[in-house]
Chains A and B, each alone.
Chain A
Amino acid sequence: MIEIASFFNYATITFCIALSSLGVAIGSSFSSIATIRAIHIQPSARNEILKTSVIGMALIETSAIIGLVISIMLLMNKDISVVNKFYWGLSNLGIAFSIAISGFTIGLASSYPVQYACLAIARQPFFNNKILNLMLLTLSFIQTAVIFGFIIALLINSQAIYANSLTDSLRHIASGLSIGIGCIGPAIGLAYFAKSACSGIGINTKAYNKILTFTFISEALIETPIVFALIISLILITNQNSNLLVCLAMLFAAICVGISNIMPGISSGKTAASACDEIAKSPEIYSLVTRTSMLAQGLIDSFAIYGFLIALMLIFFVK
């Protein structure tokens, strides 16, 4: 039994750091290629481009750093006294799901704003400060997901010590799965949007204020599904049900909210990205484009809400 527990524990430690580093490494390489291309296009602006690229890459690394922190924390935890070694090891899988999946996705997704901000500065070197501001704003929205994953991982880690039955472990695994799968789609959508926003300012600097306002609203709309996944995760951690049937239903509630988040996130991001391109081309029709885009995004979000409601019913109504 102890061997199996150790197997799960070591697997968690490995996957947390390995997958998030993999995502960050691929993302950083994309950003570096874009930086070199931008310097090639506009060699006189190389200082501004390098500054943006270095700040962006430092922020991309957030998910790898979070993976590292969690891995070190789990290694330090080796000697603590737990109620049941086997179920503690099984609960650790929840941490693996929440950190590894979100870290990999966010590492990849957050490279998009950096790439297109560098290329935009190559087009508009005198506008570099405002492009940098927009890049930081979009990056901070994208990284919210990995911070949510981090909260869930910390909560699971503090609860896993008291796990003494299969139901507890199932709840912890479900909680990690919910936030892990749930942030894939919205992260990809946010990356699409950030790409359009950053390259849009490179095309038309006069649209900066309108694109900034639009970014605030759209990014909040795109990341709504992540918030649903977070709420389901928190409910699953704090619920103290010990019925095996109910806990199996909870596992599927997590998968339900996770999978139903994928396509709404991506399509909401694509909608907002097209709207942003249109605003960059012709800022005078801003209010019409914004209204249409928000209406469409509200309709797309309702499909994520169906998944969320069914997940809530699976948690509370299954007896």
Chain B
Amino acid sequence: MQNFDVFDEHYWQPLKILGLTSSFWNINSKIIIFTWITLLAIFIICLISRFLILKKPDSVASFLVISYVKSFYDLINQTLGRFSFQHFTFVTSIFTFILFCNIISLIPWIEEPTADANTTLALGIIAFMYVQISSIIQNGFYEYVKEYFSPFFLLFPMNVIGELAKVVSMSFRLFGNIFGGSIISRLWTTAIAGSIIKELLGIFTGINLIIVLFFILFEGFIQAFVFSMLTLTYLSIAVRHEESHQ
């Protein structure tokens, strides 16, 4: 625990030839590789569930997959008031991606990509841009801009800061929770490492299990759910605005 290093990072500098060595241009190699591993895991699970639904429609696994999709169908119906395939795919894929990112550390030697602020900030910006563009498509550009000057024009800076604060709070909430959980599990593994008695004690008292269950599975699920629900809520506020006026 003495040399516990929280921020050990490995960087690629692809634009070093052009003289761009500022930290803005660096690529965090570890996080990129772990993200691609997560995407691979999602892809394999998608292929397996497609096979199961087509070939064995009565099995338990295909029932689980169908109820997973159906619960999101109900959620969209409940929150938006109608079904929209476009919003459904966006929210479901954001939830699935964040969930897999949060629980990928169950595989040894792999860390959560969401324990890095770059990933969560990117996700926050993607959700923000999606909500804004949906609002423009739904309400028209004039109505969209007018929204920022309501109730009257002096509140324009407050509205802009309020919108940007959503991005910051969404992405840093995800980052902080997952990062805190990963630090706890790393502290615990460094504390019990190096002694067989301690490791056996960790396994048989169930502390290992509690840490995995609570900080990885439970916390990861809740944070993924909260992120996608907040996106859906902001989306419903942005999209429904016109209906409430009529």
Contacts and interface: CB of A to CB of B under 8 A. Distances in A.
Contact of A220 (B173, B175, B183): B173
B233 A301 contact: no
Contacts of A161: 2
B176 A228 contact: yes
B2 A290 contact: no
Contacts of B230: 217, 221, 294
Contacts of A308: 168, 172
Given A155-B4, A220-B223, A220-B226, A148 B165 contact: no
A111 to B, nearest CB: 21
Interface centre among A220, A290, A309 (most CB of B within 10 A): A220
A224 interface: yes
A291 B236 contact: yes
A151 B183 CA distance: 8
Interface centre among A155, A216, A295, A302 (most CB of B within 10 A): A302
A231 interface: yes
B117 to A, nearest CB: 8
Interface in B150-164: 161-162
Contacts of B180: 144, 147-148, 151, 227, 230
B166 A298 contact: yes
A140 interface: yes
A302 B165 contact: yes
Q: How big is chain B's contact interface, by range?
A: 35 or more
Contact of A228 (B81, B172, B183, B222): B172
Nearest to A162: B2
Interface string B1-20: 11010110000000000000
What is the interface of chain A mostly: helix, strand, loop, or mixed?
Answer: helix
Contacts of A221: 226, 230
B4 to A, nearest CB: 6
B187 A154 contact: yes
A291 B4 contact: no
Interface string A271-303: 000000000000000010011001100110110
A65 interface: no
B149 interface: no
A237 B7 CA distance: 11
Given A154-B187, A227-B176, A230-B176, A301 B237 contact: no
Interface string A131-164: 0000000001000100110010011001001000
A291 B237 CA distance: 7
B44 interface: no
B48 to A, nearest CB: 28
A305 B169 contact: yes
Contact of A158 (B2, B165, B175, B236): B2
A234 interface: yes
6 contacts: A140-B218, A151-B184, A221-B226, A227-B172, A231-B176, A287-B79
Q: Which 4 pairs of residues, A with B, have the shortest CB-CB distance?
A: A227-B176, A302-B165, A220-B226, A305-B165
